[in-house]
Structure 1
């Protein structure tokens, strides 16, 4: 691993996880990730912002040695989750004089997750600051930007915002800064979809405050640093807004082909009406890509067969995850096929209470699609087209 210079007083000492392919045994990582940590040297004190996942603590310590770090006075923990704080116990052991600076809720979490002694922790609040000598750190609590204890740290002298998970991306790259906006946008949007979207309304209120700050660099906890802060701020303003795109997302699974045929018919009807469509086959699908599509789609239509008495298990998982991320989707419906009975429509409706969308009449049929079901699918497509045309939040 390498130590990289951000400014004369600030170094990047985190690690890159090139080969990690899943996070929390849930989130796919097609391009790996990084665990960003930053060493800030003042004339009087040295501070460390965040640590790394404990799997990488040996590399992390090596980086600190390479950086010539012989003292750490303050360890800033913006967030207690272990990919940020997991190496904290070993750092506290190596630097017995170091104090941990975090929010009150973070203190409780560090105690329960990592058994960090309360005596090593200094609680900070919004407006508090730490003077290192010629350079300082300001703390701002941002609860429910992912976890309730989250905060961000700002260095006014260098105009750097250490934004924790906010504005991050799961990307292993040799570049310290974003050098491929198209690639970074996709991964940053995917990261937002998987982790930040459930807290859209909280993030919205913080964005206005961040835009008022004098920021030259945003340094998130994952992915490359952003030396064009306005770029990512504009993306987040868009993603957290109430506006959606003129598209329909159709997560689907099929057993004997009937539901898939309905999806194909329905897709054609929507396309003929000038609506963007994304059929998403859940079998072997990437849940991160599904979340990505949910960020700003106007309508989601769940398409599933009935298995025994309810929806296919793949659809149960997809609907559960969609409900967790709380997309700003405006309209929703259900299509699919059953053999002899069941309560698939009722079950699916009950699974998505956090999708605050208007539910349009389902098209749920017995067996394969026939002329009547084609007519019903056409009616649903026309209803969606009418909604999309008249809704001012759809562009």
Structure 2
């Protein structure tokens, strides 16, 4: 994507990565991603807000050369390499520029990219730099989603360059969110995969930036928001303690027994008016699964045993759930075994970060009998009761 003027003196100079399929060797990217970089031209100085992933550095450089502007400041909101990785190249091309960032980000950039000490201008929370008719304010927003993260506010244009805050993994030729309504689903996926563990700090940082008059939010990934009310209200909902009447059931079945249990539970919950989302861990989209956890009240983990423990797919997903700390209220564990099981004990040990109430587990030897299916119906009754009382 070529350089595009957003407003007078404000340009988009980033890159769309249509082909990238995975992030951090972990997160699928069904819509690719973008690396958003912005150039702000004042009367006296020009600032580049973040750079791009090193693989797209040539595109950033081409866009900057198109504009034929000098660069005085390179603002680094966050040291992760998809934002900062092209800084060394930009410093080579614009040797008079200095990197403006906070102390934590500075130390990370020195470690990651070997940027020398004399190339930094270190700022504090709330500090400002005037470009001449354009004023940048730096607001520290730690743990959204790294300890070094900050955002940059352009006062005169009421624009917030929000780094990963409000981001979405989406490559698109449409620069603004109102041109592509899919962005809100992509933003929820992004929140689920990266931001969910940091709900308390996001609440604090959302309150902090809300003190500014914001007309436009320009994140480092995905489309730009203008107006901004919808994405801010969605974040307020996602970080709240409120949950929906939703039961999420991740499951694995090796020989069919656990699948019979899951199918029966799904039918039983639907008959009771609950919303249910089952996910076969061997075939699911991980992002869709994590998105469902943003709102769910209840998680039911269903697994067969492998050497008396939960199936490895169950283990890896339980580990991820524990890291992401969704705002679940209730968890139940059920499964089948052949000759012995420690599944309940092991899974509860893996989910130590969750502040939930555990419902009675169901452990079945072999195929479920009629008595076993009645136990599953009783679990459905208990889940309904819990949801109605919440």
Distance across 2 between alignment mates of 1:313 and 1:137: 49
Distance across 1 between alignment mates of 2:101 and 2:207: 23
> Which string of whole-angstrom CA distances, capped at 9 and with x for unpartnered residues, describes residues 340-377 of structure 1?
11311111111111121111111111101111111111
* C-alpha contact 1:102 1:122 (8 A) present in aligned 2: yes
The residue aligned with 2:85 is 86
> Which string of whole-angstrom CA distances, capped at 9 and with x for unpartnered residues, describes residues 92-132 of structure 1?
11111111111101011001111111111111111100110
Q: 1:7-156 alignment to 2 at 5 Å? A: 7-69=7-69, 71-156=70-155
TM-score, structure 1 normalization = 0.97
Distance across 1 between alignment mates of 2:184 and 2:51: 25
Distance across 2 between alignment mates of 1:126 and 1:216: 21
Give 3-state SS (helix, strand or coil) of 1:380's partner: helix
Q: 1:273-284 alignment to 2 at 5 Å? A: 273-284=272-283
* C-alpha contact 1:4 1:176 (8 A) present in aligned 2: no
Distance across 2 between alignment mates of 1:273 and 1:56: 52
> Which string of whole-angstrom CA distances, capped at 9 and with x for unpartnered residues, describes residues 51-95 of structure 1?
0000111111111111223x1110000000000000011111111
Distance across 1 between alignment mates of 2:68 and 2:175: 20
Distance across 2 between alignment mates of 1:118 and 1:355: 42
Give 3-state SS (helix, strand or coil) of 1:109's partner: helix
Query: Residue 360 in 1 paired to residue 377 in 2?
Result: no
* C-alpha contact 2:174 2:180 (8 A) present in aligned 1: no
Distance across 1 between alignment mates of 2:207 and 2:140: 15
Distance across 2 between alignment mates of 1:302 and 1:153: 42
The residue aligned with 1:4 is 4
Give 3-state SS (helix, strand or coil) of 1:297's partner: coil
Give 3-state SS (helix, strand or coil) of 2:245's partner: strand
Query: Residue 385 in 1 paired to residue 371 in 2?
Result: no
Distance across 2 between alignment mates of 1:250 and 1:232: 28
* C-alpha contact 2:178 2:226 (8 A) present in aligned 1: no
> Which string of whole-angstrom CA distances, capped at 9 and with x for unpartnered residues, describes residues 152-198 of structure 1?
00001011000010001000010110135641111110000001111
TM-score, structure 2 normalization = 0.98
Distance across 2 between alignment mates of 1:262 and 1:255: 13
Distance across 1 between alignment mates of 2:180 and 2:110: 39
* C-alpha contact 1:11 1:39 (8 A) present in aligned 2: yes
